[in-house]
Structure 1
Amino acid sequence: MNNKELQDRIIENYQADEKMMILVFAQWCINNDLDPEEIYLKAYPHQGSNHALREALELTVAKDEAGEVPDQTLLGVLSLFGNDDLAFIVTEEISKRKR
C-alpha cells in the first residue's frame, strides 16, 4: 500500500468513525427525549443544519427499541472527536435530568 492509499484509508476510517459518533449522539438524544438538532445547535449555533446529523437521524430507532447509550459513553466518544462544546451541552442536559 503506498502513502496515498494509506492516507485515503485513514481518512475513510475517520469519517466512518465520525458517522458512528454522530449516530451515538443522536440515539442518546432520542433515548433521553431530546431533539438532537436542537442540542447540536445549542453547541454550534453558527453552523446551522448538519447534514451528517440528519443522515444519522434516519438510522436512529424509537426509544423503546434502542439499547441504552450510557452518558459516559457518549461523553467519551464526543471527547475523542474534540466535540467539547457539544459535550458541555450534553453535560448540562444530564445535570437537568438528574435534578
Structure 2
Amino acid sequence: MNRNELEQFIIQSYQNDEQSMILCFAQWCVNNDLDPQQLYARAYPQQADNEALQQAIALTVNKEDADPIGAEVVQAFLSMFDNEELAFIVYEEAAKLESR
C-alpha cells in the first residue's frame, strides 16, 4: 500500500467511524423517545440540517427492535470525535430520563 492509498484508507476509516458515532447517537435518541435533530440543533445550531445525521436517522430501527444503548457509551463515542457539546446534551437528557 503506497502513501496515497494509506491516506485514503485512514480517511475512509475515520468517516465510517464518524457515521457509526452519529448512528449510535440517533439510535439512543430513538430508544429514549427523543428527537435526534432537536438535540443536535441544541448543540450545534449552525448545523441544524446535518446530512450525516439525516442519513443516520434513516438507518435507525424502532426502539422495540433495538438493542439498548447506555448514555455513557454515547457520551464516550461523541467525546472520541470531539463532540463535547452534543455529549453534554446527552448527559443532560440522560439525567432527565433517570429522574422520571
User: TM-score if structure 1 supplies the norm length?
Assistant: 0.97
User: Counterpart of 1:10?
Assistant: 10
State the shift of 1:97 in Å: 1.1
User: Counterpart of 1:64?
Assistant: 64
* Structure 1 unaligned spans of 5+: none
The answer to whether 1:94 aligns with 2:98 is no
- Partners of 1:77 and 1:97 in 2: how far apart? 20
User: Counterpart of 1:36?
Assistant: 36
- Partners of 2:28 and 2:48 in 1: how far apart? 21
User: TM-score if structure 2 supplies the norm length?
Assistant: 0.96
What SS does structure 2 have at the residue aligned with 1:69? coil
Moved over 6 A (4+): none
- Partners of 1:48 and 1:79 in 2: how far apart? 19
What is the percent sequence identity of the aligned residues?
A: 51
User: What is the identity, as a one-letter code, of the residue corresponding to 2:67?
Assistant: G
RMSD after superposition: 0.7
User: Counterpart of 1:19?
Assistant: 19
- Partners of 1:42 and 1:48 in 2: how far apart? 8
